[in-house]
Structure 1
Amino acid sequence: MKGVVGASAIAGIGSTGAAAVNTATPPTGSGGGITPFMGIERIDGPAPRGMPIIPVEIDDEGVISGRWPEVKEETVQGQTEYLAEEEIGGITYTSQWFQYCGKQTSPALLPRADQDNRFLSSEETQYEWQSELEADEPLNIEHFDDYEDWGNEIGEDGAGKPAAATWRSDGLEGGDVLNAIVMRSPRIEEAAQEDEFLEAATQDGVFAYLNVCTHFCCVPGFKVSDTAERFEDGNVIYCQCHASVYDPFTILEQSFLSFPQPDDVQLPEEGGGGGGEEEGGDGGGGH
Structure 2
Amino acid sequence: MVKVTEGCFEATGHTSIICDFSPPRSGDPGVVDQAQIDADFISVAYNPGRAVRTNSAMLAAAIQRSGKDTVFTLATRDMNKLALQSQLLGAQILGVRNVVVVQGDPFNERDRERVASVNDYQPTGLIAAIAQMNQGLDFREGKLRTPADICIGATVDLGRGIEEEAQLAVRKVRAGAEFLITQPIFNVDHVARYRESYAYHAGKAGTLPIYFGLQILEQDGVLFSSVPESVRTELEGGRSGVDIALELYQKFQEARLNNIYLMPPIKRGGARNYEAAKEFLSKAVKL
Same fold (TM over 0.5): no
Higher helix share: 2
Normalization by structure 1: what TM-score?
0.27
